[in-house]
Structure 1
Amino acid sequence: MTTESQTKELFRRAEAVCFDVDSTVIKEEGIDELAKFCGVGDAVTEMTRKAMGGSMTFKTALTERLSIIRCSREQVNKLITDHPPQLTPGIRELVDRLHQRNIKVFLISGGFRCIVEHVATQLNIPLHHVYANRLKFYFNGEYAGFDESQPTAESGGKGKVISMLKEQYGFKTVVMIGDGATDLEACPPASAFIGFGGNVTRPQVKDRSSWYVTSFGELLKELEKI
C-alpha cells in the first residue's frame, strides 16, 4: 500500500484520473434517487448500504434493487429532468484543472449510463470516457433488466475497466477516487486510491485509504504544488 505522500505524488503526476460517480462526483446515490422517484426508496436504500459496505456482491445487490424498482424508460427520463444529479462542490473546478494539465478524466460507475452521461456532459468529459451500467427496456418502455456484460455490473468491475484503460492507452499511472468498497478494490490495478468522504463517510474505506479527503479543494491544492 502506498503512503499518503506517495499517493499525493502519484496523483500529481497521473496520466489518468478515474472518478466514481454516486456520492463522489454527485451528492446522491443515483439508484436510491431512482428508487425514491419510483416509490420504493426505503427498501432499496437499505440494500445499497449493504452493497457499499461490501456485505453482498455488487451484482446480487444491483439485480435485487432493480427488481424492486422496475423503472420504465419514461420514469428514468423524468427523474433526470425533474431531479437532475447534484454535482459535488469543487468537482467542476478539479476536472477543468485536470483537463488543463492534459490529464485524462474517466467516470467509472456502478450506476446507470443514462444518468452518468448527463453528469459527464456537465463536466465536459467525453462520453467515451464513461463506464457504467446500461438499463434495458422493452419496446413499450417497460423495464427489461440490465446489461450484465458490462464490467461495472460485477464486483471487481472498476478494476477491470482500469486494466483495460492501461492497456488501451498505455497509461502507467492511473489514480482512482471514490467513496465506496468497489472503488477501493480497484487499486491495484490503479496505481493509487484516494478515499473521498465529502458526501458520506464509509469507515472501512476511510480506514484503508492512505490519503482520505473530504473536499475536492484538497485535491486542487495538491495540483497547485506542481
Structure 2
Amino acid sequence: LLQLPSCCMLTMITEVQTKELFRRADAVCFDVDSTVIREEGIDELAKFCGVGDAVTEMTRKAMGGSMTFKTALKERLSIIKCSREQVNKLITDHPPQLTPGIKELVDVLHQRGVNVFLISGGFRCIVEHVAAQLNIPFSNVYANRLKFYFNGEYAGFDETQPTSETGGKGRVISLLKERFSFRNIVMIGDGATDLEACPPADAFVGFGGNVVRPPVRDGSAWFVTSFGELLKELEKI
C-alpha cells in the first residue's frame, strides 16, 4: 500500500494526498450533527423544549470556534434542562434525519472492511439511534452522556467523556490508534471540533452538505458538499 505522511508531519496536506488517504483508510470517523444527520441534535432538543432561539445562537458560536466546546455545551444544556421523558419523546416524534448518501457510503466502507466510527459532541442516546440505522455497532460510538435524577429530571452531563471537551475528538482518535493500530484514520465533519482532530487523524475531509462553515471550508485540503463525492472517490480503487 502507498504510505503517505500523516498530516501532523505536513505543513499542509494536499487534496490529492487526502483523497489517497481516504481511499486507503482502514478507519473512517464521522461527526454526526450536520454531517451524518441533517440537523444539530442539541438545537432540535432545544426547539422541542421551547428554548430554540437562545440555544441555536450559542451552537453557531461553538461550531465557529469562538468559545470552548465544554463551555458552550454546559451553557446550552443549562438553558434546555431536558428531562429523560423529553429526550425519549424527541427521538420518537422527531427522529434524526440521515443526510442523503450516508447510508450508501457507510455500506460501501463496511463492504471493504473499513472500520466506521461516530464521534460526536452530541448525545449518545440520539447518536445510538443513528448508529442503528447505519449498522454501526454501539461500541464504535463516542458521544456525550446526559445524566438524569431518579425522577427523570435533568442532572447534568458526564464531564469525563472526551467528547465534552475542545480537542476531545482528537483524543478519541488517538485512543483508537493505540487500541487498534490503525494505519490511516480519516475524520469527516462540518465543524471546528472536527477540523482540529487532524492530527492525530491522518487526514480530514470537510463536509458542507448541510451547512458550510467558512473556517472549516477554508481549512480543509478537501472539502465536499455531498457524500456522493466520497463514494465516487472509492470507485477509483
Shorter-chain TM-score tier: over 0.9
TM-superposed CA distance for 1:172, in Å, is 1.4
**Matched residue, 1:46:** 57
Unaligned stretches of 5+ in structure 1? none
Deviation by residue 1:122-175 (Cα, 9 ceiling, x = unmatched): 000000000000000000000000000000000000000000000000011000
Does 1:224 pair with 2:235? Answer: yes
Secondary structure in structure 2 of the residue aligned to 1:145? strand
Does 1:98 pair with 2:98? Answer: no
State the alpha-carbon separation in 1 of the partners of residues 232 and 142 from structure 2: 27
State the alpha-carbon separation in 1 of the partners of residues 177 and 24 from structure 2: 15
**Matched residue, 2:206:** 195
**Matched residue, 1:30:** 41
Does 1:159 pair with 2:170? Answer: yes
State the alpha-carbon separation in 2 of the partners of residues 54 and 2 from structure 1: 21
State the alpha-carbon separation in 2 of the partners of residues 186 and 207 from structure 1: 16
Does 1:64 pair with 2:75? Answer: yes
Deviation by residue 1:48-67 (Cα, 9 ceiling, x = unmatched): 00000000000000000000
TM-superposed CA distance for 1:117, in Å, is 0.1
| Count of matched residue positions in the alignment of Structure 1 and Structure 2 | 226
Deviation by residue 1:25-72 (Cα, 9 ceiling, x = unmatched): 000000000000000000000000000000000000000000000000
State the alpha-carbon separation in 1 of the partners of residues 79 and 212 from structure 2: 26
**Matched residue, 1:9:** 20
**Matched residue, 1:134:** 145
**Matched residue, 2:156:** 145
**Matched residue, 2:91:** 80
State the alpha-carbon separation in 1 of the partners of residues 131 and 205 from structure 2: 20
Identity %: 85
Unaligned stretches of 5+ in structure 2? 1-11
Secondary structure in structure 2 of the residue aligned to 1:149? coil
